[in-house]
Amino acid sequence: MKKSHKYWINSGFINCLLAVVLGAFAAHGLKSQLPESALSTFQTGVQYQFMHGIAIILCILLGMHLNSKLFNKSAALFMAGIVLFSGSLYLLSLRSIINGLPTSIIGPLTPLGGLCFIFGWMSLIYFTTKQTLHNE
């Protein structure tokens, strides 16, 4: 397995692991600390982090199978989406606990992360179509 494949697959595994840990933390540690709306926001971040951690793994498995480095770009978009989308949701939901968070800066990161997710999925469609057409 190539070094870049190991990096991205492990990134996917780590994101899935962190999503499970953060989900458990929210369910057990934050439940009494946060209002229901903030807890729901945090859980949304967990769900998107987990599903896109799996998407990163999928990208690399496709790239290995189709022998293409293009899928690394999709994986990078998903990683950026996790950091921006899920990360900003975590911070926004914790603002009642963490004083001094610049929410005016953090808030706009959420839709940017969402765009990274969208572009990641669009690039997967494009790369698989391009690769399939190329191999036929």
pLDDT in tens, 56-104: 999 999 988 887 788 999 999 999 999 999 999 999 999 988 888 888 8
Question: For the chain, what is the mean pLDDT?
Answer: 92
Residue 88: CB partners within 8 Å, gap ≥ 6? 45, 106, 107, 109, 110, 113
More confident site: 40 or 104: 40
Residue 66 CB coordination number (10 Å): 16
Residue 79: CB partners within 8 Å, gap ≥ 6? 11, 15, 56
For position 134, what pLDDT does the model report? Answer: 56
Smallest CA-to-CA distance from 63 within 76, 50, 79, 51 is with 76
pTM of the model: 0.92
